Structure 1
Amino acid sequence: MDIPGDLYQAVHGGPPLAFRFGVFFLVGGVVPNPLDIRFSKVSGLNSRIDTQAVNEGGQNLFTHHLPTHVQYDNLVLERGMAIGSILVAEFNATMSLFKFNPCNVLVTLFDESGIPVSGWLFMTAYPVKWTVSELSAESNQVVIETMELAYQRMQAIRL
């Protein structure tokens, strides 16, 4: 059930902030590795309806736009490079052995008390891109790995 914005503010003291989130890979009911739920950035939380333009015979003033299907962007996850990550082993198996093990991924937004207020469930997600930031002897920045996943469907969850 969606909570109207003014009611949410009255109960929680303001709109949710974007930095309180977790990413949970739901694989066979196993508790996720704590290294694999912490990401510094999540993007690709969007969907759109593609349409097809149809001209009506004899009507030149407008065009009908008929829905054709739902289109999703890939889910993109960024974090500092993690050592001992089971998720990295899964990505490595996909990229090196072309072995896919799709799973559901839940991105959860929390309030200041750590209570979930919203979420996005990505169904049948699998890796399609994996990048590591540039290594440079002239920099002392954290190595960032970016993981990109395609998925079958996204479901927004409002608590």
Structure 2
Amino acid sequence: MSYPSDLLGTFGAGPPLGFRFGVFFFFGGVIPNPLDIRFSKVSGLTSTVNTQTLQEGGQNLYAHRLPTGIQYDNLVLERGLAVGSLLVTEFNATMSLFKFNPSNVLVSLLDESGIPLSSWLFMTAYPVKWSVSPLDADSNQVVIETMELSYQRMQSIRI
């Protein structure tokens, strides 16, 4: 398949594909967790500028829309149910003991060689939701664990 020149990515390989990625948790902000890096799906890579509408006296043609802040969606991570995971231990402490230990999370989009093309850094992330897919005797599906994290802010890193 050929791509127009404006869609060619690094080294002319075409646009990046969304199935090669890694998720890296940095406990205490700096120590990487080498075990909990494989997820099947990542979503919530969204930020929005909130605005407030301000009518100017006597001006009926338009209204001013002023920025009031940035809003981030929760970072949602999905994977097959993991046993013996440090991340599960952290989620369990939050959900059962109301004990929070925020960490930084780096999501990296990778090329076919495993080299990062683009990354998103989520600062001071902590769990806000944890769910497990239904257990169903009539199904032959992998049990999926879904983790949602709220965070202070997100920074896009283009490489």
Q: TM (normalized to structure 1)?
A: 0.92
- The gaps in structure 2 that reach 5 residues or longer are none
CA deviation profile, 1:34-87 (whole Å, cap 9, x unmatched) = 2x1000000000101000000000111111100000000000000000111110
The amino acid of 1:30's aligned partner reads: I
Match of 2:64 in 1: 64
Aligned-partner Cα distance in 2 for 1:85–1:10 = 35
SS of 2:19's equivalent in the other structure is coil
Is the alpha carbon distance of 1:139 and 1:7 closer, same or farther for their aligned partners in structure 2, counting shifts above 3 Å? closer
Match of 1:119 in 2: 119
Aligned-partner Cα distance in 1 for 2:122–2:32 = 17
Q: Within 5 A, what are the aligned runs for 1:37-76?
A: 37-76=37-76
Aligned-partner Cα distance in 2 for 1:54–1:31 = 46
Match of 2:103 in 1: 103
Aligned-partner Cα distance in 2 for 1:85–1:148 = 16
Q: Structure 1 residue 8: deviation in Å?
A: 5.3
- RMSD of aligned residue pairs (Cα, Å): 1.5
Greater CA drift, 8-17 or 84-93: 8-17
Match of 2:151 in 1: 151
SS of 1:52's equivalent in the other structure is strand
CA deviation profile, 1:106-145 (whole Å, cap 9, x unmatched) = 0001001111110000000000000000001111100001
Aligned-partner Cα distance in 2 for 1:71–1:149 = 14
The amino acid of 2:74's aligned partner reads: N
Match of 1:30 in 2: 31
Q: Structure 1 residue 10: deviation in Å?
A: 5.8
Q: 2:7 touches 2:15 (CA, 8 Å); kept in 1?
A: no
Superposed structure 1 runs of 4+ greater than 6 Å apart: none
Find out whether 1:89 has 2:89 as its counterpart.
yes
Q: TM (normalized to structure 2)?
A: 0.92
Aligned-partner Cα distance in 1 for 2:45–2:139 = 31
Aligned-partner Cα distance in 2 for 1:142–1:22 = 20
